[in-house]
Structures are given as C-alpha cells and as structure tokens.
Amino acid sequence: MEGMQQTTQAVRVCTVAELSDGEAVRVPPEETGTGAISVFNDGGEFYALDDACTHVGASLAEGYIEDGEVVCPWHGSRFCLLNGELEEGPATEDLRSYGVEVRDGSVWLLLEDTTGR
Ligand code: FES
C-alpha cells in the first residue's frame, strides 16, 4: 500500500528459563501494541498466537498444549500452535500467528509494525 512500510518490532517476553515446556506466557496489549498474544513452549520450540480464543475470548495462555495444539480452557476448541489454524470447534475462526525468536537467553515476540499510520 502506498506510503505504508512494514518493519518488524521485537518485544521481549521473558527469559528462556522462565517459559518451560508445556507452559505459556501472555503478553498484554500494552506491550504488543495490538491485542494480547500468548507465547507457548512445546517441547523446546516457541510459538506465538493471539491470546483470545476466537469463540468467546478465553485466554489461551490458560489452556493446555497437546499434540502441537493449544486447547481452549473454556470449551475445548483446538488451534495449531504453528499457524493458528482452527483444528476443532466450537470456535469457527483461525487465530493469527506471530514469529518468535530466541536471542541472548530471552524469548522475543516478532511483530509486524505498520508505520505511517
Ligand atoms: S472460548 Fe474458547 S472454545 Fe469457547
């Protein structure tokens, strides 16, 4: 789009030691500049998805991880950790997914920042 520029903004989430296997950390909107985003550790790999379930908004950081998916704590919808795709309802929409990077012993959330707004 004209006059718009895409840059990547990194938000420090926590240290690698603070996010153990099977756990999630919720990064609040004040830090992401958009909605809350959850960062998950599944077997030493990190993934980031929108925190709010697309059904009625439960915090997915409060859910649990199984078979590469996060399971919503309220009604059990399942989303792929890799790309946010809905695998099982009652939700009907996918989640957005984000990049994660491990650098200097910390976990960083990578956000596309549209400047020039
Ligand atoms: S809020 Fe997640 S399944 Fe209902």
pLDDT digits (tens, 9 = 90+) for 5-25: 667 899 999 999 999 999 999
Q: Is 29 helix (H, G, I), strand (E, B) or coil?
A: helix
Predicted pLDDT at 117: 47
How many angstroms separate the alpha carbon of residue 60 from the centre of ligand 1? Answer: 9
pTM recorded for the entire structure: 0.90
In a domain, residue 37? The reply is: yes
- Is position 34 within any domain? yes
Kindly give the pairing relationship between strand 97-103 and strand 106-115: antiparallel
The rounded percent of the chain whose pLDDT value lies above 90 is 85
- Residue 76 CA: nearest ligand 1 atom is 3
Ligand 1: which residue has its CA nearest to atom 3? 75
95 C-beta closer than 6 A to ligand 1? no
The verdict on residue 50 lying in a domain is yes
Q: What is the mean pLDDT of the chain?
A: 93
Residue 63 CA, closest ligand 1 atom number:
2
> What is the extent of the structural domain holding 100?
5-112
Q: What is the mean pLDDT of residues 66-80?
A: 98
In a domain, 117, yes or no: no
Q: Say if ligand 1 is within 6 A of residue 103 CB.
A: no
Alpha carbon distance 46, 107 (integer Å): 8
Quote the number of domains for the chain. 1
Q: Is residue 44 assigned to a domain?
A: yes
Distances (CA, A) of 24 to 47, 49, 113, 115: 9, 10, 23, 29
CATH of the domain at 104: 2.102.10.10
